[in-house]
Amino acid sequence: MKKNIAIAIHGGAGQDSPYIREHVNDYKKGLKEAIEHGHKLLSKGAKAIDVVEATVRILEDNPFFNAGRGSALNREGEVEMDAAIMDGKLLMAGAVSMVRNVKNPIELARTVMHYTKHVHIAGEGALKLAKIRNLELQPNEYFITDHQRDLLLEETTPTGHGTVGCVAMDEFGHLAAATSTGGLTGSLPGRVGDSCLVGAGCYANELSASSCTGEGELIITSVIAHKVAMLMELKNMRVQEACDYVIRNMENPIPGDVGIISVDNKGRIAFSFNCQRMHRASIDTSGKMVVEVYNV
């Protein structure tokens, strides 16, 4: 008997580039691998919160995406990573920022959620927690790719909108969301983006689960992920309508590149972005798979 499950992922949104066009098949391959893994877990009865963590881990391990291995470099050529995860049924969340050396920041965010009384831990405190819980660590060189070195040399101002995220509904109708990022190329050391901020780049409740990507400062000030949930609750909007209202509202447009993936408690999946591309994939309740980078 087919289970009523749904999952969606993203791998960043923003402007197109020669590098993306050259490697579009590599991006699609990575998205397909991650979405198939997550859906397989759901089909075996895994909880949504476990699935979003496991799926984001795969994206963090893929050097083509700006999260974990392949993270952006700040102005000093260093990697500082952010991540957050949220259980919509329990309204519990965990988040980390300015993380170094932790192979999978999303696993550390989940650790904050389950093994501490806190929601958000940053910097050296986050690394200490990772060591206490025996999470896998890697040297600085593991996270740095030639592509990210090239981007740092090319840019004079902070740029790059790479993030990964996953939202899922399990067979019980429970929702969860997870988001992870390597940040902005050339940013000031200590800069914290939206991905680790609950309600901005990551949010889940009993109505919807959302993960955002794009220009983090705009996602933070617009509180995008939470705004989608509130439009559904207070305005009775459907998930796609709410996402489009927030991301593509022509009456009050967001002055930059942003995107979102969402799923509601009926398993309806929504994608919305206002820029040239958003790496994304989904498998809906019918089992139909979508893997795309550009508008279709």
* CATH number of the domain that residue 148 is part of: 3.60.20.30
As a whole-number percent, the residues of the chain with pLDDT over 70 amount to 96
Q: Residue 275's pLDDT is what? A: 94
What pLDDT shows up at residue 156?
A: 58
38 in a structural domain? yes
pLDDT tens readout for residues 204-217: 999 999 999 999 99
Note the pLDDT tens digit of each residue in 23-42.
999 999 999 999 999 999 99
Q: Could you report the per-residue pLDDT of 173-198, keeping only the tens digit for each?
A: 999 999 999 999 999 999 999 999 99
Confidence at residue 295, expressed as pLDDT on a 0 to 100 scale: 87
**pTM, to two decimals:** 0.96
**Active-site residue (options: 55, 111, 145, 163):** 163
Question: What mean pLDDT, rounded, does the chain reach?
Answer: 95
In a domain, 230, yes or no: yes
- Asked if residue 86 is part of any domain, the answer here is yes
Q: Which long-range contacts (CB under 8 A, 24 or more apart) does 106-111 make?
A: 106/53, 106/56, 106/57, 106/60, 106/178, 106/180, 107/53, 107/57, 107/135, 108/83, 108/135, 109/83, 109/84, 109/85, 109/178, 109/180, 109/196, 110/49, 110/53, 110/85, 111/135
- How does residue 160 score in pLDDT terms, banded at 50, 70 and 90? low
What pLDDT score was predicted for residue 158?
60
pLDDT of residue 140: 96
Give the pLDDT score at 70: 95
What is the pLDDT at residue 259? 97
Q: Using one digit for the tens of pLDDT, what is the confidence trace for 224-251? A: 999 999 999 999 999 999 999 999 886 7
Q: Is 157 a catalytic residue?
A: no
1 band by pLDDT with thresholds 50, 70 and 90: very low
Distance CA 149, CA 153 (A): 6
In a domain, 1, yes or no: no
Q: What is the extent of the structural domain holding 144?
A: 6-294
Say if residue 296's pLDDT is above 80: no
- Does the pLDDT value for residue 161 go beyond 80? no
Q: What is the pLDDT of residue 190?
A: 96
**pLDDT band of 285, cuts 50, 70, 90:** very high
Q: What is the DSSP string of the chain?
A: -----EEEEEEEEE---HHHHHTHHHHHHHHHHHHHHHHHHHHTT--HHHHHHHHHHHHHH-TTSSSSTT----TTS---EEEEEEETTTTEEEEEEEE-SBS-HHHHHHHHHHHSS-SEEEHHHHHHHHHHTT--B--HHHH--HHHHHHHHH-SS-B----EEEEEE-TTS-EEEEEEE---BTPPTT---STTSBTTTEEE-SSEEEEEEE-HHHHHHHTHHHHHHHHHHHS---HHHHHHHHHS-TTS--SS-EEEEEEETT--EEEEESSSEEEEEEE-TT--EEEEEE--
Please indicate, yes or no, if residue 55 is contained in any of the structural domains: yes
Beta carbons of 204 and 86 less than 8 angstroms apart? yes
In-domain check, residue 65: yes
Do residues 129 and 116 touch, judged by C-beta distance below 8 A? yes
Interatomic CA distance for residues 169 and 4, integer angstroms: 8
Choose the weakest-confidence range: 4-18, 69-83, 157-171.
157-171
Neighbouring C-beta atoms of residue 112, cutoff 10 Å: 25
Question: Does residue 180 form part of some domain?
Answer: yes
Q: pLDDT band for position 79 (50/70/90)? A: very high
Question: In this predicted model, which residue has the larger pLDDT, 296 or 276?
Answer: 276
Based on the structure, what is the number of domains in the chain? 1
d(CA 285, CA 271): 15
User: According to the model, what pLDDT value does residue 238 have?
Assistant: 98
**Mean pLDDT for the stretch of residues 77-92:** 97
